[in-house]
Amino acid sequence: MTQTDRRAPVPLATQLTRFVLVGVVAAVVDYGLLVAGMNLAGWAHTPAKAVSWVFGTMTAYALNSRWTFGAAGSRLKFAAVAVLYGTTFAVQVGTFALIYPPLEMALGTAAAQVVGFVIAQGLATTINFVIQRTLIFRS
């Protein structure tokens, strides 16, 4: 048993606080790349969201696995997170692709980017926290 394996479980309130803080950092990465991809690189909304999501997700995984959930690394946990992130990738990018066009028509580009991002991110974040806490990194 390693030092990491003997740590006390991280309480729910601490996990939730850390998950939110990590989420804010990852969201800044994700949203910044989304806007840069769409507004600076001229990418369509779906490819821009796909690229931004990948980098935001890598940021979240790197911080959440150890700091938020205090989990020891393992191939099984990594594989489980990869499957989860693949699922939430489809949820987030699909949600954004579905809601962005009508939002853009109703609100304009900048507001649609923010509102679409928040809705898609919120849905994916909720799914991620519940699955990671209850199945992947449970104590």
pLDDT digits 0-9 by tens, 43-78: 998 999 899 988 988 888 888 888 898 877 678 887
Q: How many domains does the chain fold into?
A: 1
| Domain that residue 125 falls in | 10-136
In a domain, 1, yes or no: no
pLDDT on residue 82? 84
pTM greater than 0.85 (yes/no): no
In a domain, 4, yes or no: no
Query: Are 68 and 18 in contact, with CB atoms under 8 Å apart?
Result: yes
Q: Which residues contact 100 (CB under 8 A, 6 or more apart)?
A: 45, 112, 113, 116
Q: Which residues contact 112 (CB under 8 A, 6 or more apart)?
A: 100, 103, 104, 106
In a domain, 28, yes or no: yes
Query: Are 16 and 129 in contact, with CB atoms under 8 Å apart?
Result: yes
pLDDT on residue 1? 43
More confident call, 113 vs 79: 113
In a domain, 107, yes or no: yes
In a domain, 41, yes or no: yes
In a domain, 83, yes or no: yes
